[in-house]
Structure 1
């Protein structure tokens, strides 16, 4: 109680001094590659002052020195002086005492194309732009001191953009003026803004729009029809699985980092990120594009709308065995459920991409607390919670089916978990999960969980019990799923 009271005493004077709304004007330029996007931000304080600090992130999503993209011209800002402080993520503005502050700045691309390694720096040229919200908009630094669930009003006006230069983001599609009420970190700054020569496709689920925006012609059979039809199937199937149709607006954006028809760059690199009301895909567009990888990406990232977003971790990396591992498990299971892959294909993929890759990982037995410490430092450590959690999810799915004679599965537990987290507004913890598992299995698996998920010891898959028709055998020192073709295997239905 004392801590909460202290926090409120600390924060209330800051918020009393500020308004909850800020407005932006973004101007088109015929030479965006040279001049960048010009942004004017206007903010009114409740009390007059001669100084105000704006926040701009110098580091974001693995990108450093982002102030190299940020420019202020004195001639566009008469009557003010300013200090740029990248080390503090701040621009401090000085002016004659008053309550209205206005600042004009430019965001420019600071690297030369092509670049295969850059995903999250601002991309701005005369054809298109692609920016994360956190790299496009400054906010009054007072906003960053507010509670995470505090909502603000953001007004955006796009000025002078020609009709053919399409505008789109994860709050609205192709509008010149928009008003957004959302939180800062999980909303306004957890976003992407695109414009230019994008193509748009859309459909509705229960009268609620879903948009797909992409540009360039993608190589190796990734036609618009292939991508959109498979994306549509993935989104529809996942909402049906969760029985959740609440989202009023959703969008998927797909932007190439590099496009080329030759094989100069031998390989491809693709990433997907779940953000507010959306997920975005970026990747190299060349002859090495892989259809299966894109389908995996669709299903994995879309599943994060529930596992990781609506069912949110309380302890981040310590819970990645769940948010990444169970997402990975349902990536494969959902594809099987909708017959995107056959049972034989599922067996092959799960054996090779999950189990075999996990057993070959020299870090596979790392304790869970070390995953928290080293997740962002090592690719081998990063993959452990995906695969360890996915194998655990498969084990648990089988145990629930065995216990209930096939009447229930992990699917039922997951939908109940979603209901608990959303209706009671609680975050995911190991304890919450284990209590729910005990309800379904009528036994406490805490020791099993501690041994295999927390301490990192391998599950003896050969010795465990599985539903009828599924077993394990050791192949090249690695356990592999075996399916008895003479039995009607009730998995993935």
Structure 2
């Protein structure tokens, strides 16, 4: 009997020790005062100081500890030391088995500079904050030897008005959130929290909810109903392709960055980021809003749920040729398959946005290691893996179709790769990919891969074998894909 009691008691004790409680408290002056967060934690043993993690550098943003404010009068008996280089806040407190203190997250910039879109944004009307920069976590809840630490989190939203939307990558409109055994890096710190005057729309796909959160009024064709319909089409086509509707919750969040009513800002700057259970879009809003841009973003970023998501990368930047390039390739192919693009539009988009853009990139022949070194430093280097990988995917798709007498395609390889990564808990590597490619092509393409993907030598598209109806011609020294109407059936393996 005592043994049974111990077995049932142990999880309760474990839960209590590993739980971090946050109370996020509303204020009408939140834009000026910052977002007040009360943290309570029970450490494993009583001490007089505790290390807390707060990420000082996230997604190209540095010095993020400038966004954290500690007010002494709110924390009697406590003192704090910031150590930015170690992503650490040292909390000195009375020796106790319970720690409780208050900190505030503030917006540390004025206006709407595009280079600061991933910093905490806290305004009178709304807030938009990455989970990694909203919540500090005690370091003892994670072990440096573990790859993805788990913890339990309780979040209470206190005194927020009834009509004030609370929405994030874990739930919608919930004032009490209980996140049990959540992965720190892949989930809790890979999240977005928004609130305020967002409009929430919802649809279900095979009984699974999908939310769309959007705020402000948008120019041109960016009406809520049209955006929602495009999102619904994207979700349906992608989940059908992968035969995967396992996500219990998913949301897309659309937030304007700079809004101008005239032509003072020419063009559109849109950034999409895939996070846990969500896709976060930050875009300028002006008369240059382009429907094709937002529709492309929907399709590209949601494809990351699988490529780069469930098919996780072992070597992040070094594998961008796959996680970004093959995502881009399937963005175009899946839109053609779903009818979102006609064959002519698909051909024109691939020629302009992939082939022409790649050939005009002065850095296009840089080796793959350059991407790891300079992806966040150079726009030209950043775009290499997208286009290089998409061109390689088109070549490989054609080779598999030809070798299998049109019974198999790159689609089959991708679905098998997904199954391996999910079932065997494997991460993507070049070696795993080449092994699968050899299975489908019945030949080793390691030399071809080394030459064109690793070393960066352009594929001579004029000499490659292609399915009937596909061909390349050179215009102004840039290869352009030509596709006859009959080729669509072969390419998509339509019955």
Q: Following the alignment from structure 2 to structure 1, what is the Cα–Cα distance between the partners of residues 142 and 251?
A: 26
Q: Following the alignment from structure 1 to structure 2, what is the Cα–Cα distance between the partners of residues 172 and 231?
A: 18
Q: Following the alignment from structure 1 to structure 2, what is the Cα–Cα distance between the partners of residues 471 and 266?
A: 36
Residue 370 of structure 1: CA displacement? 2.3
Among 68, 88, 91, the residue aligned to 1:90: 88
Q: Is the 8 A contact 2:343 2:485 kept in 1?
A: no
- How do 1:158-169 and structure 2 match up within 5 A? 158-169=157-168
Q: TM-score, normalised by structure 1?
A: 0.94
Report whether the alignment pairs 1:367 with 2:371.
no
How many residue pairs were aligned? 477
Q: Following the alignment from structure 1 to structure 2, what is the Cα–Cα distance between the partners of residues 370 and 405?
A: 38
Cα deviation, 1:221-265, whole Å, max 9, x if unaligned, reads: 111111110011111110110001111111111111122322222
Q: Following the alignment from structure 2 to structure 1, what is the Cα–Cα distance between the partners of residues 378 and 394?
A: 25
Among 108, 111, 128, the residue aligned to 1:110: 108
Residue 486 of structure 1: CA displacement? 6.7
- How do 1:34-73 and structure 2 match up within 5 A? 34-73=32-71
Q: Secondary structure at the match of 2:44?
A: strand
Q: Is the 8 A contact 2:343 2:488 kept in 1?
A: no
The worse-fitting range, judged by mean Cα deviation, of 154-163 and 364-373 is: 364-373
Report whether the alignment pairs 1:358 with 2:379.
no
Corresponding residue for residue 180 of structure 1:
179
Report whether the alignment pairs 1:189 with 2:184.
no
Corresponding residue for residue 491 of structure 1:
491
Q: Is the 8 A contact 1:61 1:120 kept in 2?
A: yes
Q: Following the alignment from structure 1 to structure 2, what is the Cα–Cα distance between the partners of residues 131 and 359?
A: 37
Cα deviation, 1:279-308, whole Å, max 9, x if unaligned, reads: 100011111111111111111110111001
Residue 362 of structure 1: CA displacement? 1.4
Q: Is the 8 A contact 1:199 1:213 kept in 2?
A: yes
Residue 463 of structure 1: CA displacement? 1.0
Residue 366 of structure 1: CA displacement? 1.1
Corresponding residue for residue 205 of structure 2:
205
- How do 1:8-407 and structure 2 match up within 5 A? 19-146=17-144, 147-181=146-180, 182-407=182-407
Q: Secondary structure at the match of 1:274?
A: strand
Corresponding residue for residue 3 of structure 1:
none
Task: Classify 1:43/1:488 alpha carbon distance in 2 versus 1 (closer, same or farther; 3 Å).
Answer: closer
Task: Classify 1:485/1:101 alpha carbon distance in 2 versus 1 (closer, same or farther; 3 Å).
Answer: closer
Q: Is the 8 A contact 2:470 2:487 kept in 1?
A: no
Unaligned runs of 5+ in 2: 1-13
Task: Classify 1:116/1:451 alpha carbon distance in 2 versus 1 (closer, same or farther; 3 Å).
Answer: closer
Q: Following the alignment from structure 1 to structure 2, what is the Cα–Cα distance between the partners of residues 434 and 112?
A: 49
Residue 377 of structure 1: CA displacement? 2.0
Cα deviation, 1:105-141, whole Å, max 9, x if unaligned, reads: 1111111123333210111112111100111111112
Residue 488 of structure 1: CA displacement? 6.5
Residue 475 of structure 1: CA displacement? 1.1
Corresponding residue for residue 6 of structure 1:
none
Unaligned runs of 5+ in 1: 1-15
Q: Is the 8 A contact 1:148 1:184 kept in 2?
A: no
Q: Is the 8 A contact 2:142 2:149 kept in 1?
A: no
Q: Is the 8 A contact 1:32 1:125 kept in 2?
A: yes
Q: Is the 8 A contact 1:470 1:489 kept in 2?
A: no
Q: Secondary structure at the match of 2:56?
A: coil
Two-structure CA RMSD over aligned residues (Å): 1.5
Runs of 4+ residues over 3 Å off in structure 1: 143-146, 484-489
Q: Is the 8 A contact 2:25 2:35 kept in 1?
A: yes
Q: Secondary structure at the match of 1:46?
A: coil
Corresponding residue for residue 479 of structure 1:
479
Q: TM-score, normalised by structure 2?
A: 0.94
Q: Following the alignment from structure 1 to structure 2, what is the Cα–Cα distance between the partners of residues 287 and 145?
A: 50
Cα deviation, 1:183-235, whole Å, max 9, x if unaligned, reads: 11111110000000110111112211111100001112111111110011111
Q: Secondary structure at the match of 1:194?
A: strand
Task: Classify 1:208/1:231 alpha carbon distance in 2 versus 1 (closer, same or farther; 3 Å).
Answer: same
Task: Classify 1:486/1:267 alpha carbon distance in 2 versus 1 (closer, same or farther; 3 Å).
Answer: closer
Q: Following the alignment from structure 1 to structure 2, what is the Cα–Cα distance between the partners of residues 91 and 316?
A: 28
Q: Following the alignment from structure 1 to structure 2, what is the Cα–Cα distance between the partners of residues 169 and 94?
A: 32
Q: Is the 8 A contact 2:351 2:480 kept in 1?
A: yes
Q: Is the 8 A contact 1:55 1:91 kept in 2?
A: yes
Task: Classify 1:436/1:196 alpha carbon distance in 2 versus 1 (closer, same or farther; 3 Å).
Answer: same
Q: Secondary structure at the match of 2:178?
A: strand
Q: Secondary structure at the match of 1:19?
A: helix
Residue 142 of structure 1: CA displacement? 2.1
Q: Following the alignment from structure 1 to structure 2, what is the Cα–Cα distance between the partners of residues 157 and 314?
A: 36
